[in-house]
Amino acid sequence: MLNIVIFGAPGSGKGTQSEYIVRKYGLHHVSTGDVLRAELKDGTELGKIAKGYMDEGKLLPDDLIVHMLASKLDGLKDSKGVIFDGFPRTIAQADALKKMLTTRGQDVSVMLNLEVPEDELMTRLIKRGRETGRTDDNEETIKNRLTVYHSQTTPVIDWYKREGKHRHIDGIGTKERIFRDICEVVDAVND
């Protein structure tokens, strides 16, 4: 079983690289942001709760997200493994993921930390906002998302370093070059 956590700031390329990884390694892609946007579109209770947090660039409460993720995992069949995109984003979520996988006799294989300088993140997200209309891709909300990333999410890096699972990935350059670097790391843990 190959379970990958793809980690990084807003706009670092988690979703983009997840698509390549899914195609090459046949994993299930679980993006908490995508799940929440689908709930919002469907007008579910969870979607209504999520909207306020997402519009402000704040994280949803851990218990809600952990519950949502657990039911996603329960729904997966014939899995070669999962790529977790946008989760865990807090220490509590990292602890919860470890417990969830342990009860299934599994663990995280590797955590890929996509590192990209802040000015590049802002440029990418403003561009995407213009092109796709994603509502949290406006300057004010992006700034909030980055602040939340630094205060609540970066402690997760040390958490995975302590587990011996953290790998740095240079997230600047072509999508193809970044993917080649990712494959080297993944192939080394997937023997």
CB of 162 to ligand AP5, least distance (A): 20
| DSSP labels, 56-106 | HTPPPPHHHHHHHHHHHHHT--S-S-EEEES---SHHHHHHHHHHHHHTT-
**Token code pair at residue 138:** 């406006």
Distance CA 129, CA 139 (A): 9
Q: Does 32 bind ligand AP5 (CB under 6 A)?
A: yes
Q: Does 128 bind ligand AP5 (CB under 6 A)?
A: yes
Active site residue 177: no
Restricted to residues 165-184, the positions that interact with ligand AP5 (CB under 6 A) are 175, 178
Among positions 2, 5, 6, 15, the unique one binding Mg ion when judged by CB under 5 A: 15
- SS3 percent helix, strand, coil of the chain, rounded to 5, is 60, 15, 25
Closest CA to 184 of 172, 170, 174, 163: 170
Closest-approach residue to ligand AP5 (CB) = 33
Residue among 51, 72, 98, 134 flagged as catalytic = 134
Closest CA to 72 of 40, 107, 29, 21: 29
Active site residue 180: no
Residue with Cβ nearer Mg ion (14 or 124): 14
Q: Does 129 bind Mg ion (CB under 5 A)?
A: no
**Token code pair at residue 62:** 């851990």
DSSP classification of residue 166 = E
Stretch that binds ligand AP5, among 20-28, 54-62, 73-81, 102-110 (CB under 6 A): 54-62
Positions in the binding site for ligand AP5 (CB under 6 A): 8, 10-16, 32-33, 36, 53-54, 57-60, 65, 86-87, 89, 93, 124, 128, 145, 175, 178
Positions in the binding site for Mg ion (CB under 5 A): 14-15
> Catalytic site residues?
14, 89, 128, 134, 145
